[in-house]
């Protein structure tokens, strides 16, 4: 990966990367948000936990939050890198890159 600490450090500090942009989980607007963190993501965190639950864990300084958030951010970046490799091999990297929300 391009930066080995970025996904975990950002996760621990409440910044989660999604296909729809960054989610700052400490924001009050997620207090009652029962939707998954990223509906397009297949990681354990997104399949099993809501934004409201993740926010609760973050606010409570629960170590489970750091684990779930890091798992999600790592999955997100590994998926991007898998797709980058595929796009390069298929000769469509510029189009793929312009479609990313980064």
Q: What whole-number percentage of the chain has pLDDT above 90?
A: 87
Q: Is 94 left (phi over 0), alpha (psi -120 to 50) or beta?
A: alpha
Q: Are 83 and 100 in contact (CB under 8 A)?
A: no
Give the pLDDT band of residue 102 (cuts 50, 70, 90). Answer: low
| Distance from C-alpha of 53 to C-alpha of 50, rounded to nearest angstrom | 5
Is 80 exceeded by the pLDDT of residue 3?
Answer: no
Is 70 exceeded by the pLDDT of residue 10?
Answer: yes
Q: Give this prediction's pTM.
A: 0.88
Is 80 exceeded by the pLDDT of residue 2?
Answer: no
Give the pLDDT band of residue 8 (cuts 50, 70, 90). Answer: very high
Mean pLDDT, to the nearest integer, of 79-87?
94
Question: Residue 99: what pLDDT?
Answer: 84
């Amino acid at each position: 990966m391009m930066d080995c600490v970025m996904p975990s450090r950002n996760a621990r500090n409440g910044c989660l990367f999604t296909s729809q942009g960054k989610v700052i989980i400490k924001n009050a607007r997620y207090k009652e948000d029962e939707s998954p963190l990223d509906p397009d993501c297949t990681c354990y965190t997104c399949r099993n936990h809501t934004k409201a639950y993740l926010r609760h864990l973050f606010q409570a300084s629960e170590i489970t939050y750091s684990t779930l958030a890091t798992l999600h951010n790592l999955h997100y970046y590994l998926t991007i890198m898998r797709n980058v490799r595929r796009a390069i091999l298929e000769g469509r990297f510029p189009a793929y890159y312009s479609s990313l929300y980064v």
